[in-house]
Amino acid sequence: MKTNSVASAGIRSKAAALREQLNLHNHRYYVLDDPVIPDAEYDRLFRELQSLEQQYPELQTADSPTQRVGGMVLEGFQSVRHQVPMLSLDNAFDDEELVAFDSRIRDRLKYKEEIEYVCEPKLDGIAISLLYRQGVLSRGATRGDGERGEDITANVRTVASIPLRLLGAQVPSLLEVRGEIYLPHAGFKGINEAALAAGEKTFVNPRNAAAGSLRQLDSQITASRPLEMCAYSIGRIEGVDDPESHFDTLEKLRGWGFLVNSHIDVVTGATECMAYYRRLEAERDQLPYDIDGIVYKVNSLALQRRLGFVARAPRWAIARKFPAQEEMTQLLDVEFQVGRTGAVTPVAKLEPVFVGGVTVSNATLHNQDEIARLGIKIGDTVIVRRAGDVIPQIVKVVDERRPGNAQDIRFPSRCPVCGSPVERLGSDAVARCSGGMVCDAQRKEAIKHFASRKALDIEGLGDKLVEQLVDKGLVRSLDGIFHLDRAELAELERMGEKSADNLLVAIEASKSTTLPRFLFALGIREVGEATAKSLAEHFGSMENLRQADQEALQSVEDVGPVVAHFVYEFFRQSDNLTLLDALIAAGVNWPDIEIDESARPLTGEVWVLTGTLENMGRSEAKERLLSLGAKVSGSVSSNTTVVVAGSAAGSKLTKAQKLDIPVIDEQAFVARLAALEKTGTPLP
């Protein structure tokens, strides 16, 4: 609550100390990824500063962490002139052009020795300029046309990795920093999931999402987006000694509190530049953010000054692009494929286009909802995205290129393979063929899965052979694999007697398996390799699993209500039980897993972890509880057995107290675990 009183010297000092603490903690959390206090303590400090600023408005400063939350809605962006023009970079598209760039530099400098370069990942975001006066952020602007950009100061203040005040004792009196604002993959996914849930339009890619977030007139919207900024150069600096190299520049920026990309490296000569390119290209798809190439810069600033500029680009830097991950092409047709679980998936047939390093002619359209969301029609020009080994997908329709004869995509009401009705049950986004193993497509995919390496691992029973076996009617169900005739096999395309003999030997060997492999091979919906292993180790035998109800199933690690439902229903369908009996009769066998119940004294109990555990991580605590037979839940209910409350425990602790559920602190929890793991006897 605002007052008219003037803050005393003590209160001013307290506010300044809080600002300094919070800015340092922001830097450790968002830039160094090394927090030293729990979130609850940060929140306490933040609220304390916020309260002081509300009570004494004159205490609110430009570098206050409270200014990151966004402010008044602007009517528009003002145009501002950059202190120093923000130039473009020339491009190299292959090794030959990179070598030519290096040769030009050495020729101009009359250098015979190799040049030292700084290699930087080229982040796929929005270039910005940040201006600091006396160490405090005073302006943020977009690149614009290089000479003038848009003033987005209110928005850049909300980006947590941008320091509002420079760190350190020796800071420039004036500093203009260039960098890239981008949206990490996790943040992009979260924004689009929220948009879908709200029935709003989603973003095409992280770069578009970052640009859209920065150009919000309401900075509170920008504040809600998890943007990051990496600094990569200085435009102007006054009041401190100039750095001697570009790498020194980056180190100074790091010291003043900026996030600098951790993959930046210094190399010598064109050969090492090319090696760096190949290394980052291989890592590209594992990075938590998008990069679209590498930027090479002469490291020595003295050499940079000698080399100078040409037109609107520096002679001392060049960008080498990776193969594009997005390209435009035309949607020629849509086919519908049927998978192992009956899922009917629309597949786009495209005019072939080179994207993500390969030629793409097919892309997934996922389901009916995705077709409706995209508003796509046959004949449309579309943007296709492919990243690494990810299945290519259509991310956007280029509406202005839609032809007059574009056709609607009609989802089939009957299976395109067997003619059975296509059903979409409840809230399931996927439409499915109801034919089950009557459907050749489902039968083929089920057999392929059953014989795959992580299932029964039948060597020689590959996809092409499975297609033949089903098409010729030689296998009609999974147990049919174990009744194949040698003579019929030998007559199949690319088989012969020796191949038939080898396959029959492999089939015979596959009969002796393990319970986890067999469960995975059955292809129960949502039961992957890890879940199959958890189920097998928990119940020990097929009979125990068949008799388990949904509540018992949910006591297994990683098994929630959805998986429990699918497993329970699988073992209640007569066709599945008949198949199990047929497989056992054919000789498929596995040993039961002996369960030592004395080692699982918490079986049937539900535990909840809340707050910060100081002596062990949450994941370790969960793992140890699961090993003792407990189920670890994320929420408190009347079924909860015990709540472990660490420091800064919140609403879960409050709810447990209201429901009169036993609550223990971390010290008691550690003691109880030790006793259980040693003797198997719970403490009172």
> What was the pLDDT predicted at 682?
47
> What was the pLDDT predicted at 112?
86
> What was the pLDDT predicted at 211?
86
Between 93-102, 390-399, 404-413, 618-627, the lowest mean confidence (pLDDT) is in 618-627
Mean pLDDT of 550-579: 87
Residue 311 contacts residue 408 (beta carbons within 8 Å): no
DSSP 30: I
Q: Per-residue pLDDT for 35 more than 80?
A: no
Nearest in space to 224 (alpha carbons), one of 288, 160, 279, 284: 160
Q: Per-residue pLDDT for 202 more than 90?
A: no
> How wide is the angle at C-alpha 478 spanned by C-alphas 473 and 480, nearest 5°?
50
Query: What is the secondary structure of 591-619 as a DSSP string?
Result: PPPP--GGG-TTTT-EEEEESB-SSS-HH
200 vs 678, residue with greater confidence: 200
Mean pLDDT of 476-496: 92
> What was the pLDDT predicted at 330?
94
Phi, psi of 170, rounded to the nearest 5 degrees: -100, 95
> What was the pLDDT predicted at 117?
97
Q: Whose structure tokens read 């396959």?
A: 503
> What was the pLDDT predicted at 218?
86
Mean pLDDT of 274-299: 91
286 vs 598, residue with greater confidence: 286
Q: Per-residue pLDDT for 76 more than 50?
A: yes
Q: How far is residue 407's CA from residue 416's CA, in Å, rounded to a whole number?
A: 19
Residue 169 contacts residue 135 (beta carbons within 8 Å): no
Which string of b and e fits 658-672 if b means at least 16 CB within 10 Å? eeebebbebeebbeb
Structure tokens at 201: 């339009």
- Which residues are tagged catalytic? 122
> What was the pLDDT predicted at 41?
67
Q: Per-residue pLDDT for 393 more than 60?
A: yes
Fold of 436-510: DNA polymerase; domain 1 (1.10.150)
| Percent of the chain whose predicted confidence (pLDDT) is above 90 | 48
Mean pLDDT of 392-421: 91
Domains 9-68 and 90-321 in one fold: no
293-319 per-position pLDDT tens digit: 999 999 999 999 999 987 678 999 999
List, in order, residues 6 or more apart from 464 with CB less than 8 Å away.
Answer: 494
CATH number of 9-68: 1.10.287.610
Architecture of the CATH domain 325-434: Beta Barrel (2.40)
Give, in words, the CATH class of 515-585. Answer: mainly alpha
Give 509-535 as a 3 state SS string.
HHCECCHHHHHHHCCCCCCCHHHHHHH
Average pLDDT, the chain: 87
Q: Work out the pLDDT band at 634, boundaries 50, 70, 90.
A: confident
Q: Work out the pLDDT band at 683, boundaries 50, 70, 90.
A: very low
Domain boundaries, the chain: 9-68, 90-321, 325-434, 436-510, 515-585, 597-679
Q: Work out the pLDDT band at 74, boundaries 50, 70, 90.
A: low
Residue 446 contacts residue 437 (beta carbons within 8 Å): yes
Q: Per-residue pLDDT for 594 more than 90?
A: no
**597-679 to CATH, choices 3.40.50.720, 3.40.50.10190, 3.30.420.40, 3.40.50.2300:** 3.40.50.10190
> How wide is the angle at C-alpha 661 spanned by C-alphas 656 and 664, nearest 5°?
85
Q: Per-residue pLDDT for 544 more than 60?
A: yes
> What was the pLDDT predicted at 28?
73
Q: Per-residue pLDDT for 588 more than 50?
A: yes
> What was the pLDDT predicted at 600?
73
Q: Work out the pLDDT band at 649, boundaries 50, 70, 90.
A: confident
List, in order, residues 6 or more apart from 540 with CB less than 8 Å away.
Answer: 515, 592, 593, 594, 595
Residue 393 contacts residue 361 (beta carbons within 8 Å): no
Q: Work out the pLDDT band at 585, boundaries 50, 70, 90.
A: very high
Q: Per-residue pLDDT for 186 more than 70?
A: yes
Q: Per-residue pLDDT for 684 more than 70?
A: no
Mean pLDDT of 675-683: 61
| Percent of the chain whose predicted confidence (pLDDT) is above 70 | 93
Fold of 90-321: D-amino Acid Aminotransferase; Chain A, domain 1 (3.30.470)
Q: Per-residue pLDDT for 537 more than 60?
A: yes
Q: Per-residue pLDDT for 2 more than 60?
A: no
Mean pLDDT of 117-127: 93
433-480 per-position pLDDT tens digit: 988 888 999 999 999 999 999 999 999 999 999 999 999 999 999 999
Mean pLDDT of 284-290: 88
Instruction: Please give the model's pTM, rounded to 2 decimal places.
Output: 0.54
> What was the pLDDT predicted at 322?
84
> What was the pLDDT predicted at 679?
62
Mean pLDDT of 592-612: 79
